[in-house]
Amino acid sequence: MPLDEVHGLGTETADGSVCQNCLGEDGAVRPCEEVFESGVNFFESLECVNDRDFAERLTRKNMKSLDYWKAHPHDCLEGVEASQEEFMEVISSL
């Protein structure tokens, strides 16, 4: 994330869209593990997310919806994703 600011939701790179959190200070895409952990931490900070497993599933759902991560699969994105309904319920709580 952070997903709480609309202008931070998407940025285009040469390899596809990413969220602002995916980018480092130099504008380059950060390593997947860093982005994933940051996303998990963001979701865990929300009152409606009560455990790390759910935060990881939400993060996978979010990252795998972005063009960049579709084109650059990574081991940290393997695993169960949140359902669309779960994801939208959390996003609507922001």
Q: What are phi and psi of 70, to 5 degrees?
A: -65, -40
Rounded to whole angstroms, the Cα distance separating 37 from 14 reads: 24
Measured CA to CA, the distance from residue 24 to residue 29 in angstroms comes to 6
Supply the angle between the helices 32-44 and 52-64 in degrees, to the nearest 10: 130
pTM across the whole model: 0.86
Residues 70 and 16 sit within 8 Å (Cβ to Cβ) = yes
Which residues of the chain carry a pLDDT beneath 50? Answer: 1-7
Residue 9: its pLDDT value, please? Answer: 56
pLDDT score, position 80: 97
- Say what the pLDDT of residue 2 is: 42
